[in-house]
């Protein structure tokens, strides 16, 4: 069982570049989430999808967009990367509770 798979694992971008973080789950979960983790800040919700075709903003959505492509996949896009978006990004999925997390994408923006 793969669980929640995130790609890429590491990425370095220059300010202003765009990129999409990919997330896929094989557990048939309805809900999917994108978080960012920063030192001393815990996990902060960026976007949330309760089901295929629906998305909602979380606590820190500015600078990001998401797509719930189908039940399995939930992508996070940075249109114009900024140094403040340097972080570790986690995708999670859940049937309701608990949430199951991927191993993260470590993103550095120079």
Verify binding: residue 58, other proteins, rule CB under 8 A. yes
User: In terms of CB distance, is 19 or 43 closer to other proteins?
Assistant: 43
User: In terms of CB distance, is 32 or 78 closer to other proteins?
Assistant: 32
∠ CA 59-98-33, rounded to 5°: 35
CA atoms within 13 A on the CB side of 46: 26
CA gap 73, 57 in Å, rounded: 17
Verify binding: residue 48, other proteins, rule CB under 8 A. yes
Report CA-CA distances (Å) from 89 to 26, 85, 93: 19, 10, 14
| The one among 1, 2, 28, 40 contacting other proteins by CB under 8 A | 40
Q: Interface residues for other proteins in 84-103 (CB under 8 A)?
A: 90, 92, 94, 96-103
Contact 72, 59 (CB under 8 A): no
What residues line the site for other proteins (CB under 8 A)?
A: 4, 31, 33, 40-45, 48, 50, 58, 90, 92, 94, 96-104
């Amino acid at each position: 069982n793969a669980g929640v798979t995130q790609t890429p694992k590491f990425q370095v971008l220059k300010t202003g570049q765009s990129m999409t973080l990919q997330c896929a789950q094989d557990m048939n979960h309805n809900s999917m989430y994108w978080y960012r983790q920063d030192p001393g800040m815990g996990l902060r919700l960026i976007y949330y999808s309760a089901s295929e075709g629906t998305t909602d903003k979380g606590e820190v959505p500015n600078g990001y967009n998401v797509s719930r492509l189908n039940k399995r996949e939930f992508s996070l896009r940075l249109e114009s990367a900024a140094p403040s978006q340097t972080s570790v990004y986690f995708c999670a999925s859940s049937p309701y509770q608990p949430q199951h997390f991927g191993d993260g994408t470590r993103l550095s923006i120079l």
